[in-house]
Amino acid sequence: MPKLQGFEFWSCTLGGARHVVAPMVDQSELAWRLLSRRHGAQLCYTPMLHAQVFVRDANYRKENLYCEVCPEDRPLIVQFCANDPEVFVQAALLAQDHCDAIDLNLGCPQMIAKRGHYGAFLQEEWDLLQRMIVLAHERLSVPVTCKIRVFPEIDKTVRYAQMLERAGCQLLAVHGRTKEQKGPLPGPASWEHIRAVRKAVNIPVFANGNIQCLRDVEQCIQATGVQGVMSAEGNLHNPALFEGRSPAVWELAEEYLEIVRQHPCPLSYVRAHLFKLWHHPLQVHQHLREELAKVKSLEGVSAVSRELKLRCQAGVGTAGCHACAGREALSVTRGLVLCRRTCPGRWRERSPWEACLSFTGSASPTSAQAKYAKCDQCGNPKGNRCVFNLCRGCCKKRAFRETADCPGHGLLFKTKLEKSLAWQRDQSRLQEPQQPGLGDLGPGGPGSFSEVTGSALT
């Protein structure tokens, strides 16, 4: 049977998938993929696998792919990082019988990718990438796809995408950020770049970046014309994102842990997922955060999760009321308490989040108490120094939407954008032809390079 290509591959093999879980190192393992599929994901990628290690280490293959295959986990794309055409193809040949396509990672911007010379740090080596894609396209029985990041220039990004398409790439996942946009200052992803790529190529395109809820998915598809939308960070905080729901966090945690019992994975993966799922309650119950970080078994992790569920559902009414230090406090949702008997006025007038006590397990009304105010948009505790009076999740959405900063939550969308624009202006000045008659261009002299460009080189 001939290998399907382009839109035929997307519509038939991938079932016209629109809701996609991104490849995430140590985070898109089988258990998480199955959880995401139960809640609306139509296509998943494996975590990034190292092609050279995959070729030489049978245990690595077994742990990361062969033992993780199950009928429910399809369609599936296996992603590799590589910088050698032969090694990439050898790894892909070993994996192709267990998936529906092989993806070349050209988007990882992390320092480990720079040291290993792969991911986004190959995006200037077009001859090498062309050879890798051509060879894989010729020798594999499944299609080859690519996940890329954009260049600052839209036209260069378009030419880059067209080069990969000519080489044999059958689907492009485009992360709308440059390789410099990473870490705590990522800045907004450029849907304009993604839209330009989509118009310029004749293969399916997935968009990645700025996806926090189902409405973002719909807006992205409408704005860019892509075939599907890929989520990473949004999916980690809410694996039901593609359903348009935000279930109680303990429901998702319990369901995930049950899947892990059936399909075991390293405890570090499980712990990392629970830190994301329980993000807001763990800000309140700091001692349970420390406990979750220390436990050494799946049962220990499950016990912490059950305790968090109890605190969030009802709490325990042995702690004193924050409003009046009364002993008969009424337990309320998420483990925070306010006294109905001695503080009826405050009970009626204010949300429990606005005058509440994080349960400490002590019967003493003089126990250490902490005040948590409610987010203006949801029931989570807001950041004490948030400029919008929101929790981190709501703050991130608003700060991105308005291209604003919130130092209290470490969100610097405006600052990053300004730095990016300043960098682009500097690059433009550097590329401008020198004007005749500028005199001596020696360091610091009249008409020197720093004087002409208006910038200091460092």
Question: Domain map of the chain by residue range?
Answer: 13-242, 248-310
Terminal Cα distance for the chain, rounded: 58
Angle of helix 85-95 versus helix 126-139 axis, rounded to 10: 30
Please compute, for residue 328, the number of CA atoms within 13 A of its CA located in the half-sphere on the CB side: 5
**What pLDDT is recorded for position 402?**
83
Among this protein's residues, is 108 annotated catalytic?
Answer: yes
Q: Return d(Cα 225, Cα 25) in angstroms, integer.
A: 28
Q: Return d(Cα 253, Cα 234) in angstroms, integer.
A: 16
Over the chain, what HEC string results? CCCCCHHHHHHHHCCCCCEEECCCCCCCCHHHHHHHHHCCCCEEECCCEEHHHHHHCHHHHHHHCHHHCCCCCCCEEEEEECCCHHHHHHHHHHHHHHCCEEEEEECCCCHHHHHHCCHHHHCCCHHHHHHHHHHHHHHCCCCEEEEEECCCCHHHHHHHHHHHHHHCCCCEEEECCCCCCCCCCCCCCCHHHHHHHHHHCCCCEEEECCCCCHHHHHHHHHHHCCCEEEECHHHHHCCCHHHCCCCCHHHHHHHHHHHHHHCCCCHHHHHHHHHHHCHHHHHHCHHHHHHHHHCCCHHHHHHHHHHHHHHHHCCCCCCCCCCCCCCCCEECHHHEEECCCCCHHHHHHCCCCCCCEECCCCCCCCCCCCCCCECCCCCCECCCCCCCCCCHHHHHHHHHHHCCEEHHHCEEHHHHHHHHHHHHHHHHHHHCCCCCCCCCCCCCCCCCHHHHHCCCCC
Q: Return d(Cα 307, Cα 294) in angstroms, integer.
A: 15
CATH architecture of 13-242: Alpha-Beta Barrel (3.20)
Are 404 and 413 within 8 A, CB to CB?
Answer: yes
- Identify the band that residue 353 occupies on the pLDDT scale cut at 50, 70 and 90: very low
Q: Return d(Cα 181, Cα 108) in angstroms, integer.
A: 11
Angle of helix 249-262 versus helix 298-313 axis, rounded to 10: 160
Please compute, for residue 193, the number of CA atoms within 13 A of its CA located in the half-sphere on the CB side: 26
The separation between CA 422 and the C-alpha centre of its own chain, rounded to angstroms, equals: 26
Q: Return d(Cα 224, Cα 197) in angstroms, integer.
A: 9
For residues 145 and 336, the model is more confident at 145
**What pLDDT is recorded for position 371?**
45
Q: What pTM, to 2 d.p., does this model score?
A: 0.71
Are 49 and 78 within 8 A, CB to CB?
Answer: yes
Residue among 44, 81, 99, 108 flagged as catalytic: 108
Burial 35-52 (b: 16+ CB within 10 A, else e): bbbbbbbbbbbbbbbbbb
pLDDT digits (tens, 9 = 90+) for 55-102: 999 999 999 998 877 899 999 999 999 999 999 999 999 999 999 999
Mean pLDDT, residues 301-329 taken together? 63
**What pLDDT is recorded for position 276?**
93
Q: What percent of the chain has pLDDT over 70?
A: 80
Q: Return d(Cα 87, Cα 51) in angstroms, integer.
A: 6
Are 168 and 136 within 8 A, CB to CB?
Answer: yes
Which range, of 105-119, 384-398, 441-455, averages the lowest pLDDT?
441-455
Does the pLDDT at position 294 exceed 60?
A: yes
- Identify the band that residue 433 occupies on the pLDDT scale cut at 50, 70 and 90: low
Q: Return d(Cα 194, Cα 145) in angstroms, integer.
A: 16
Are 203 and 6 within 8 A, CB to CB?
Answer: yes
Does the pLDDT at position 346 exceed 50?
A: no
Backbone angles phi, psi at 30, to 5 degrees: -55, -50
For residues 435 and 38, the model is more confident at 38
Instruction: Provide the token pair at 195.
Output: 């839209």
Mean pLDDT, residues 146-172 taken together? 97
Comparing CA positions, the residue from 272, 175, 284 lying closest to residue 232 is 175
**What pLDDT is recorded for position 379?**
65
Comparing CA positions, the residue from 195, 209, 186 lying closest to residue 161 is 195
Residue 423's contacts (CB-CB under 8 Å, 6 or more residues apart) are: 152
Three-point CA angle 302, 307, 310, nearest 5°: 125
